[in-house]
Amino acid sequence: MQFIPRLFFASAVIFVLIGMMWGIHMSMTTDHVLAPAHGHLNLIGFVAMAVFGTYYALVPQAAAGRLAIVHFALAVLTVVVLVPGIVLAINGDGEALAKIGSVLAVLTMLLFLITVLRHKAV
């Protein structure tokens, strides 16, 4: 496996393990207030990262450029900003970080779209 797909898959597994532990904690405490943040962690942190990693594994020429590294960094930044931002918003401590994270999520997906359009799948 190439470097970029491995980064995406490793990050996806780390994020889903955190999400699973968080879900177990919510279940044990019966406090599901932060479920939307938990859901975003699993969706963007695991599902999207795994989809990105799969694409880069299947289209190695897309993984060879600098754009792939930028895409990986932006995807991780999105998760690291968006999920705590949602927690802050739910707790009434402001929505700025969630809004920034949302914009980062859109930019991450736009960058993926550019990558997909630039490289022909084999």
- Which backbone phi and psi does 12 adopt, to 5 degrees? -60, -45
Residue 1: which pLDDT band, with cuts at 50, 70 and 90?
Answer: low
- Quick one: pLDDT at residue 122? 65
Task: Say how many residues make up the chain.
Answer: 122
- Quick one: pLDDT at residue 57? 95
Q: pLDDT > 70: what percent of the chain?
A: 98
pLDDT reading at 65 higher than 90: no
| C-beta atoms surrounding 44 within 10 Å | 22
The tokens describing 87, both together, are: 């927690």
Element (H, E) at 106: helix 96-118
Biggest CA-to-CA distance, the chain:
48
pTM: 0.93
Q: What is the DSSP letter of 92?
A: T
CB 23 within 8 A of CB 40: no
Residue ranges of the domains in the chain? 3-118
Alpha-carbon separation of residue 105 from 10, 54, 58 (angstroms): 19, 18, 23
